[in-house]
């Protein structure tokens, strides 16, 4: 069976959905094809590391600047790729 890579955002979304309690945990895990053990591991990580979010008051200016720069660079790569593909025809 091929293992799936989950992003942090996906993990957080699944854990929050489980914590809301609208769906039994077994059904939630079946929906996302994960084990209950994995769900509990993610939940515990959130509880252990969640406080770090509030300690610093969010991302630092450097992190935010790097995120913005990364977005700009990705956009440039996309534009250059499109130009390259147009010139090939």
Q: Could you tell me the two tokens for 52?
A: 């770090």
CA distances from 68 to 58, 60, 78 (A): 15, 12, 15
Check residue 56 and give its pLDDT. 63
pLDDT digits (tens, 9 = 90+) for 56-79: 666 678 888 999 999 999 999 999
The residue whose two tokens read 């660079």 is 73
pLDDT digits (tens, 9 = 90+) for 13-29: 999 999 999 999 999 99
> Does 71 or 53 have the greater pLDDT score?
71
Check residue 88 and give its pLDDT. 80
19-64-66-9 Cα dihedral, nearest 10 degrees: 10
């Amino acid at each position: 069976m091929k293992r799936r890579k989950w992003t942090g955002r996906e993990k957080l979304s699944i854990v929050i959905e489980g914590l809301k309690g609208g769906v039994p945990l077994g059904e939630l895990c079946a929906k996302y094809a994960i084990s209950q053990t994995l769900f509990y591991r993610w939940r515990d990580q959130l509880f252990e590391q969640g406080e770090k979010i509030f300690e610093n008051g969010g991302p630092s200016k450097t992190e935010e600047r790097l995120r913005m720069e990364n977005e700009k660079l990705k956009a440039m790569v996309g534009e250059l790729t499109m130009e390259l593909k147009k010139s090939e025809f």
